[in-house]
Chain A
């Protein structure tokens, strides 16, 4: 997760300590990196919608074998004991589970920061208040485009309005609430309009997800952006963020799921803000550590299987019903886990000598696996130019902003 607003506008946003080890403000860079993973828990495979890109391949009916409430609480206990800082309650749609508020409360009681990923359509005012009272720290509501685009993508007319109602319910309850938006060919044009609309509703945090090729996302690869279009949209987001901030609206914007974005942000800063700012951006991102699969993010699915990321559902390291999470996660006798944690030595192709491999680490291993059959091959969605990959980093003072040119389309 890369905070565009923080890096380009110096916004000290809540939760950034997890991404940049920077609890004391934007000018401090510490040595400590996040050591324990944020855990995404797909509490159910059931969902009231049927979205085209669902990484969990959720169905309208819950699957058999879901962890029970008691099992979920035991799991939370051991995640707390292991030192997991955040649990993201996800699905399917987590709010189809009646016990989700109880589980959120249990996590908060155990010192874990509980956050929610939801399609928003089941968020009534009462439910939002209950979640707030249980200790929910943040609700991320998925919207993918303006009403027509979103409803077609999500398979239900009225889903957009219902999600906005849910967002308003959260904001009324005083819950920190943000947007989750998956950027594809179909949703990209609506992005500025959705930011505008939701900012007027009161949302100030906007997370943009690149499509990863897992679950139903693998089947909609054709709807993904080309690398050139991706570059344009990331640039647009950088520009938009700075425009909002210049107008006094301190929105928080984040990019998730493609660490070529990290390299691009350094390039953007070099061009727009100068070498000193670019160096600072580079240092932050180098500490952040690049793609987090198998290290700073873990996923536990509805049946207890532990995955390397929430999108990589077809391979599991183990199952928490058999073995505690901490033992599964630290078992580097697993050759794939060991290689992922030491991936700098295994990157191939253009990543092997890329100057940005410290801030990117080859991008998404899952997309590389889906397209090249090798998780250590370059991310097919890397959009950096050859010249950018061969620069001097960190950026030196002599770098003139004019020396960075955009590639021709």
Chain B
């Protein structure tokens, strides 16, 4: 049985901007990876921005940041004096 207490749900907001989590597949055979986020008012502008930054990618996926549920092992809200390996 998995102990889901290992992870904490991260509550965070994008402030007053629209943020798009960005994923790229570096090559046709590689797996998709998260490469951060772009801030843009519309999907079209977000796509343009991601495409200029990751022009070599085989695929680009964008997801509105507010649609993502994040469960993290080491979120800021749980961190105390010093993270183990930072």
Contact = CB atoms under 8 A, between A and B. Distances in A.
Given A77-B82, A81-B82, A374-B52, A323 B74 contact: yes
Given A59-B16, A336-B35, A77 B76 contact: no
B15 A65 contact: yes
B24 to A, nearest CB: 7
A324 B53 contact: no
A302 B49 contact: no
B5 interface: no
A81 B36 contact: no
B52 A78 contact: no
A335 interface: yes
A324 B76 CA distance: 7
B10 interface: yes
Contacts of B44: none
B13 interface: yes
A76 to B, nearest CB: 11
Interface residues of A, number: 41
Contacts of A66: 15
B47 interface: no
A395 to B, nearest CB: 37
Interface string A320-338: 1111111100000111100
B83 A65 contact: no
Contacts, number: 107
B55 to A, nearest CB: 8
Best-buried of A45, A322, A334, A369 by chain B (most CB within 10 Å): A322
A81 to B, nearest CB: 4
A278 B54 CA distance: 39
Interface in B19-45: 19, 24, 26, 33, 35-40
Contacts of A369: 52-53
Contacts of B36: 315-318, 334
B22 to A, nearest CB: 8
Contact of B10 (A313, A322, A374): A322
Interface in A53-105: 59, 63-67, 71, 74-75, 77-78, 81-82
A18 B79 CA distance: 29
Best-buried of A71, A81, A302 by chain B (most CB within 10 Å): A81
A74 B54 contact: no
B26 A78 contact: no
Nearest to B11: A321
B38 A322 contact: no
B52 A324 contact: no
Interface in A317-366: 317-327, 333-336
Nearest to B38: A315
Given A321-B77, A326-B86, A315 B72 contact: no
B12 A65 contact: yes
Interface in A266-319: 302-305, 313-319
Nearest to B52: A373
A217 interface: no
Given A64-B15, A74-B79, A335-B54, A322 B37 contact: no
Interface of B: 10, 12-16, 19, 24, 26, 33, 35-40, 49, 52-57, 70, 72, 74-77, 79-83, 85-86
Interface of A: 45, 59, 63-67, 71, 74-75, 77-78, 81-82, 302-305, 313-327, 333-336, 369, 373-375
Given A320-B76, A336-B35, 11 more contacts: A63-B16, A78-B79, A78-B86, A302-B15, A315-B49, A316-B19, A316-B37, A322-B76, A323-B72, A335-B56, A375-B52
